Amino acid sequence: MLQQRVSRRKILAGALGATATLALPGAAAPAAPAVKKGTSLRLWILKTYVEPTNKAVEASAQRWAQKHGATVTVEYFTFEDMQTKYVAAIENRSTPDVGQLETGAPARFAGMGQLLDLTSFARQIEGEVGKPPANVAPVTVIGDKVYAIPWYIMAPFWYVWRDVFEKNKVKLPTTFEEARQAAQALNRPKDNFYGLGQSWNRTADGYGVMQSLMYSYGVGWAGKDGKHRSIKTPAMQQVMRWATDIYKEGLQPADTLTWTGSGNNENFIARNIAQTSNGPSITFALENALAKATDAKDRKLKEEALANHLALPHPAGPDGRRMWAIAMSFGIFKSSKDPEAAMSLVAHLLSPEETLNVMKDSSGQFAPVLDKARAASKDYFSKNESYRNFGRAAEWFVGTGWPGPVTAAAAEVQASNVLTDAPAKVIVDKWSVDQAIDWEEKKIKEIYDTLRAG
């Protein structure tokens, strides 16, 4: 494995060049490697639903470019084409210098030999940007090497209409079972109002929540060593029952299974459902709507909506609260012609100052994970109860393949849609719970048995 080491002298030179007067009290300039003038880098970043965040990341990259007399070409990928773009780039040998990677990507791409070993670099900038929490670090550490550096968590939360719960004297849910009971209490199909909206579709709103549900019930398809283990357990039966009973009991709109990505947002914002799992883009939409209010009456309505919506932590299960989330990190591809400049750019983006600049334009969607930025973000996340929960995303985070590390096989299980196809087989094809679990077990085992080690 190619090991890119950056000399201490270069780091010091870079650090000298970096600004010493950061806006944040106590924040220091990251130890950035030196950059040749005229360097040109390609940076791939995620285009989130919160447009100001995207612009903030791009602006941050351009600040680095301006500072170093370099150019950064920012290219976006969306949730939809993230995998497709990387796959095409890898096969065509046109990977960017620096790429934002989602939860499973570091394990997959490092296994392919695409990513630079950043172990030394991570250690070198640790003093400036801090360390990720112990539960987040395994996303970017494969074997004993660091292949990417985590930046933020984009987590799902349990959105509820607080006023609906209060009016009906229903307790806000803290567990999945309480969420189902609340859905039963609040369900009014005759008025087209449903207690819950949870789709087992082929997006993160489907497979992400399914993982949170499984892990919170203590079910994982891999052991701590990352090797396959059976899911044919009583706990998995409970998981599958919860996942399918919410459909059988008519607690959700009839088209819930057909939602693709934005269905839960729309139904929640339109107040067709009392609760749903989603990222903070719902809060962004409500904040944005208020900012665009046309008159006093409209403004009052939107203020009420904003005040009444509440993002709770994801419900817990009998085994605890484990929240699967998208953990975004930065990796540097081996194809980069100027790895040192790429490292400098990454160090710049990860610096507490730049991180906070981006975070402030995210409506809570961007929860930093490196401890320096987390410490500096406390004020931002104290705005209200929803934001306080957003700020704790990293605490509850678990990665794909819990309790083991994120592996290529675990990421493939998620990508194969088997996690959500199994409950769909019970709901749509009228399979029994045990039949669906047997099928899921077979599919997962097959992935582990047939995936090449490299």
Partner 1 sequence: MHRDGSLGVAVARPRAAGRRPALGRDTGTALLFLSPLFVLVVGLILYPCFRAVWLSLTDKLVGYPERFVGLRNYEYLVHDDAFHQVIRNSLVFTVGSVALKVVTGLAMALVLDAVVKGRTFFRGLFLLPWITSTVIIALTWRWMFDAFPGRGFFNSVLLDLGLMDRPIAFMATPAGAMAAVVVANWWRGFPFFGVSLLAGMHSIPRELYEAASVDGAVAWRRFWHITLPGLKHVLIVTTLLSFILTINDFNIIYVMTRGGPGSATQVFATYSYQVAFGQLRWGRGVTISIFLAPLLVVGIALITRALLRERT
As to burial, measured by CB atoms within 10 angstroms (0-12 exposed, 13-18 middle, 19+ buried), residue 377 is: buried
Q: Does 113 bind partner 1 (CB under 8 A)?
A: yes
- CA angle in degrees (0–180, nearest 5) for 357-361-365: 110
Evaluate whether 387 touches 282 at the Cβ level (below 8 Å).
no
Output the smallest distance, CB 104 to partner 1, in A. 10
Output the smallest distance, CB 449 to partner 1, in A. 12
Closest CA to 325 of 416, 398, 404, 402: 398
CB-nearer residue toward partner 1: 68 or 228: 228
CB-nearer residue toward partner 1: 264 or 362: 264
Number of residues that bind partner 1 (CB under 8 A): 43
Rounded Cα gap, residues 243 and 241, in angstroms = 5
CB-nearer residue toward partner 1: 174 or 335: 335
Output the smallest distance, CB 242 to partner 1, in A. 18
CB-nearer residue toward partner 1: 1 or 428: 428
What token pair was written down for 381?
């996340």
Considering only 77, 109, 157, 397, the residue that binds partner 1 (CB under 8 A) is: 109
Q: Does 438 bind partner 1 (CB under 8 A)?
A: no
Q: Which range in 104-112, 276-284, 298-306, 393-401 contacts partner 1 by CB under 8 A?
A: 104-112
Per CB under 8 A, contacts with partner 1 among 39-98 are 83-84, 87, 90-91
Rounded Cα gap, residues 280 and 393, in angstroms = 11
Considering only 258, 300, 307, 318, the residue that binds partner 1 (CB under 8 A) is: 258
CB-nearer residue toward partner 1: 89 or 154: 89
Per CB under 8 A, contacts with partner 1 among 273-292 are none
Considering only 112, 143, 188, 298, the residue that binds partner 1 (CB under 8 A) is: 112
CB-nearer residue toward partner 1: 49 or 64: 49
CB-nearer residue toward partner 1: 23 or 428: 428
Per CB under 8 A, contacts with partner 1 among 393-412 are 412
Neighbours of 427 (CB within 10 A): 18
Q: Does 254 bind partner 1 (CB under 8 A)?
A: yes
Output the smallest distance, CB 201 to partner 1, in A. 6
Per CB under 8 A, contacts with partner 1 among 410-429 are 412, 415-417, 421, 424-425, 427-429
- Could you tell me which residues come within 8 angstroms of residue 411 by beta carbon, excluding any fewer than 6 positions away? 103, 104, 105, 107, 108, 400, 401
Considering only 48, 103, 216, 256, the residue that binds partner 1 (CB under 8 A) is: 256
x/- mask, partner 1, residues 179-218, rule CB under 8 A, reads ----------xx-x--------xx----------------
Output the smallest distance, CB 388 to partner 1, in A. 32
Considering only 14, 111, 132, 352, the residue that binds partner 1 (CB under 8 A) is: 111
Considering only 51, 75, 166, 255, the residue that binds partner 1 (CB under 8 A) is: 255
Rounded Cα gap, residues 14 and 149, in angstroms = 19
Rounded Cα gap, residues 313 and 323, in angstroms = 8
Q: Which residues contact partner 1 by CB under 8 A?
A: 83-84, 87, 90-91, 108-109, 111-114, 189-190, 192, 201-202, 253-258, 260, 263, 266-267, 270, 272, 412, 415-417, 421, 424-425, 427-429, 439, 447, 451-452, 454
